[in-house]
Structure 1
Amino acid sequence: MRKMRFFMPTLALAMIFSFTACSGGNKDGDANPSPSASPTATQPAPSASPDDKIVINEGKPVRLLVDLNNLTPSISDKPTAENPQVFTSTNLIAQAFMEKYPNVKIEWVRNIPPVNSAEQLVQYMTSAIASDSAPDIMFAFGSTMADKNWFMNMDDALKTPNSYVEGNEKWSDLFPSYVFDPLKDFNGHAVAIPLTVFPGPPTAYYYNKDIFAKVGVDIPKDWEELMDVSKKIKAAGYDAIGPWSGNKTSIVDNWDVQFSVGPAFSMKIKDRVDYNKDGKIDLPEQIRAAYEGVYFASNENVQQFWGQIKKKYTEVLNEGYAKIDYQDEWVKGKLAMIEDGLWRLPQELSDTQRKFEFGMFPPPAVTDKTSPFAAKIEYTEKGPYQPAAQHTFNIIEPSIKAHGGEGVRQAAVEFLKFLTAPENVSMMVLEKKGSALGAVKGTQVPPELNDWFKNSFPIIDGTSWLSAPTTNGRADLNRQLDMWFKGMIDDKTFYGNFDAALKKDISSYIKDNKVNTEGWQKGY
């Protein structure tokens, strides 16, 4: 399976988001009670919607190819030694949908290769679309590949009711509005539908409590403390950090860029990049900022930004980290911290090989303690702040056209609506045992998250760092970053090569997307 590029009585998700948003206020001492876990839901939403007038494809047969990433149901509902964890919720939900619409046959797509980035998925998508075998619905990293023009514009569908939720007037009303901000293309159109959000940041540091106690270190709260703690752990003879498998290669959108270093540096330049002054940074504003030179490595703040990433990879991680089996080190009690997604939690809770107690903490963020070019970061008293979308699904336009056109499109939209009924999302997140929260209001909360929500979380306003606007551009920059980390090029050469690649990518993006640059000040 591909992995994503991260309270106790029943509680509506609206309260969760209210809680997490208010957690920012908790820094001043106004603590809200923590939400609590809910009992397991076992039944999908009613197979008969309130609107029995819906007829898909005029009743003619429809074959719908669906990839739900790691929400795709297991082939068998019986655990085995090879596959001890099974997932069945979405199979039950699909069966209920097909009972409602007997002319629709849902087929699960299981042949998508494991990938850790959009760049890798592009290779599969290009081939699958050419052979008319790509899914009609799939997990495709939100809007990351929107420049390929493969995704259906979901705006009109989101304005229509979700007839599987009583009293709903617009499908979009089921979601907190902020979750769609990163799911929009350059023109501001939503191109993906969120099913779940991460239980806070999408990623976490899992740590060995025994090692922390023996070395005498506390959980690091910010980036500087993480660097200091890691050095003390290494000096005591342990391995400090094991990076997630997808971060073992040098990539410009790695987790440190997204969740630790990027937010504070981005928030520091927010006033400059927020051209329309709406308090948010969207993709068009990032493209303009890139065009005007904001993200070039000729700027001192950008040099310090990438310098922090290099510092971790060259001073904290073990030499040869790309080839080390950190899972083995972790189980044997030789590794103090291992980076992974929240999706790891169910596996970790059921691991019988690990003999030590583990804990989790959010990715420590860079603050103004690290650099004058980073923003001051505030923290919640406890609980996450506006968790980001995790499982998001796109409708693939070339596949819709190849597999039957409007009838398939209608089936795809209806199935996504059915999936986002609160009862159905509750089934999924409760079975995921703490690795996800529902993205729609009214879903239940897994009890496994009680300890995690006791952490203090950095308040990140969703502002992100733009590494490169296209998949090809990121691939070029990845090569430069890799050579720099390995000492094959010096700082000056890296900065120059980086800027040359970024300029080329910006020009390509603007040309391919016919971006109007009138009034922009070219920075190169």
Structure 2
Amino acid sequence: MSVLVRRRTRATVLLAVLGMTASLTAACGSDDSGGDGDRVTITLSGPNQWNNDPQSFGPAWEDLVERFEEAEPGIDVETTVLPVAEFAQTLSTQLSAGTAPELIFNQAPHTPDQVVALDDYLAQPNPYVEGNEAWIDLFNQDYFGPDAPTARNAAGNYEFIPFNLVIVGVYYNADIMDEAGVEAPIETWGELMDACAAITDAGYVPFSMDQGWLGQGWTMGIIGSMLLSSHAEEWNQFAADGQPGTAAQVTPKSMARAILTGELDPTATPEVAETMELLKQFFDECATPNWSGIAGGASFIGYDDFVGGRAAMTYGTNFAAENLADVDWEWGTMPFPTITEDESELSTGQEAQFGAAPGGTSYMIPATTEGEQLEAAVKFLQFVTSPEGGQPWLDGSGGIPSLVDAEPAPGLEGLMTGAWFETPTIPAVTFVPKARNGQTVYDGYLLGDKSLEDQLAEMRNDWTEWATEMAADGGWTEDWATQ
């Protein structure tokens, strides 16, 4: 399914939370810190996921901060915008040095002891929601709750709060597609390769790409989840709480076990090699020819080529749509195509999936945050995830709420329906150790400077190191985890 948005139609994503009439009366207007003479300042630091401004996350964020400061006159909130390519290393270094600000983006490499466990706070009421008895109850339990596969860390604790959910998909320029004779949605891998050839012949970039990690990681994850789905039952050994059992998506602990027992070995599991070969085919035939020399972005991959009308397709998150508000061409959204059994003998016929997840905008609190700063940081997280506190921010930023009773975003239904919106049973197999988090670890192979065999051997080392780190962080005591 694809969804076409008419030219000049503003793409602001408006999401309505239904049936929630909570009041902020009980939480607003109090100055627990004693007024102007005793103000508390907290800083939120993370990458810009919404625009290319190096100074501001955008108007929706500025409005959010202003409304929170009105609700809590004794607290000031500052925001620090970090470069997409550098945020992970910057925040990880600050965590290690004990200098991290009060609220940091959750995708920075860290150990569980470096951040505050939020379990006790989530068990208590959210003060900004009248009648709420447990903050955790406000969230969509499929994505953030006791049985959600990615809600807790290796130690079994909640350590981040999701402000929204994220879904990634393919955005396309309908005008270029029409000129090239390509019909959307593109449903199969073979159709994608044909489309890329036709778009190239028409004088355009088929799929805008850049040197950032996201384009490589998302493509590999989508392909790998399809091809490796036949192993799901074998590898699914642990429930979301880390205890023996199964989960809707094979958990990180289950994947770590498969790696450390040798059940999943990039050099011996044929689906991994097939994944890498298809990834290279995609980059060779579809990606921007000089992708390795283009700075990475977050809202769209290869932002300038796509928004500038030079590329037919790209990846984008649900909250990237606002960047197309003023383009003079029609655009639409669709899932990534499926690899059929006719196109790969290792295909199971599983449709392409990405799945909505709480990995969009999620923040955590460093363990060094204490006292009034800790209290203020928790309040900000509670405010953002209350219907009245967070809804205007969601409306302005194009977010899919992490709270219950949300409506699909207008213009993005192509990303939010069918198999694509469902969580894949096998997660994205993009396992790298903390020291290499966010790095483009496949550049050598994709550029033809490294053989497939060398790439798979390197991946085996990375995956083993990742699994070993996970076992250490989680304090897992099973034999396979301690050998």
User: Could you list the per-position Cα deviations for residues 367-399 of structure 1 after superposition, in whole angstroms to 9, with x for gaps in the alignment?
Assistant: 54543444433599xxx965544211111112x
Counterparts of 1:461 and 1:124, CA distance in 2: 30
SS in 2 for 1:123: helix
SS in 2 for 1:269: helix
Name the amino acid aligned to 1:165: V
Aligned to 1:243: 209
Which segments of 5 or more consecutive residues in structure 2 lack a partner in the other structure?
1-12, 238-244, 296-301
Distance 1:68 1:320, change over 3 A: closer
Which segments of 5 or more consecutive residues in structure 1 lack a partner in the other structure?
1-6, 15-40, 76-81
Counterparts of 1:322 and 1:449, CA distance in 2: 31
| Matched ranges for 1:323-342 at <5 A | 323=293, 327-330=303-306, 333-342=309-318
Does residue 256 of the first structure (1) align with residue 230 of the second (2)?
no
Q: Report if aligned partners of 1:273, 1:281 keep a CA contact under 8 Å in 2.
A: yes
Aligned to 2:106: 140
Q: Report if aligned partners of 1:423, 1:443 keep a CA contact under 8 Å in 2.
A: no
Aligned to 1:517: 478
SS in 2 for 1:468: coil
Distance 1:488 1:115, change over 3 A: same
Shift of 1:68: 6.4
User: Could you list the per-position Cα deviations for residues 423-470 of structure 1 after superposition, in whole angstroms to 9, with x for gaps in the alignment?
Assistant: 1221101122xx212211356776x43665787552533431333253
User: Could you list the per-position Cα deviations for residues 12-39 of structure 1 after superposition, in whole angstroms to 9, with x for gaps in the alignment?
Assistant: 299xxxxxxxxxxxxxxxxxxxxxxxxx
Distance 1:13 1:222, change over 3 A: farther
Shift of 1:97: 2.9
Q: Report if aligned partners of 1:208, 1:336 keep a CA contact under 8 Å in 2.
A: yes
User: Could you list the per-position Cα deviations for residues 222-242 of structure 1 after superposition, in whole angstroms to 9, with x for gaps in the alignment?
Assistant: 434322321222233332110
Aligned to 1:422: 387
Does residue 310 of the first structure (1) align with residue 277 of the second (2)?
no
Name the amino acid aligned to 1:185: N
Does residue 12 of the first structure (1) align with residue 18 of the second (2)?
yes
Aligned to 1:489: 450
Q: Report if aligned partners of 1:193, 1:392 keep a CA contact under 8 Å in 2.
A: yes
TM superposition score normalised by structure 2: 0.79
Q: Report if aligned partners of 1:179, 1:389 keep a CA contact under 8 Å in 2.
A: no
Aligned to 2:8: none
| Matched ranges for 1:395-406 at <5 A | 395-398=365-368, 400=369, 405-406=370-371
Counterparts of 1:289 and 1:512, CA distance in 2: 17
Counterparts of 1:497 and 1:10, CA distance in 2: 46
User: Could you list the per-position Cα deviations for residues 62-97 of structure 1 after superposition, in whole angstroms to 9, with x for gaps in the alignment?
Assistant: 33222365599999xxxxxx9996333212322233
Aligned to 1:23: none
Distance 1:378 1:475, change over 3 A: closer
Question: Aligned to 1:356, which of 329, 351, 363?
Answer: 329
Aligned to 2:121: 157
Aligned to 2:83: 114
Q: Report if aligned partners of 1:241, 1:338 keep a CA contact under 8 Å in 2.
A: yes
TM superposition score normalised by structure 1: 0.73
Name the amino acid aligned to 1:319: P
Aligned to 2:65: 91
Q: Report if aligned partners of 2:15, 2:407 keep a CA contact under 8 Å in 1.
A: no
Q: Report if aligned partners of 2:257, 2:467 keep a CA contact under 8 Å in 1.
A: no
Question: Aligned to 1:371, which of 344, 357, 364?
Answer: 344
SS in 1 for 2:177: helix
Name the amino acid aligned to 1:267: S
Distance 1:230 1:71, change over 3 A: closer
Aligned to 1:35: none
Q: How many residues align?
A: 448
Does residue 225 of the first structure (1) align with residue 188 of the second (2)?
no
Counterparts of 2:83 and 2:412, CA distance in 1: 31
SS in 1 for 2:267: coil
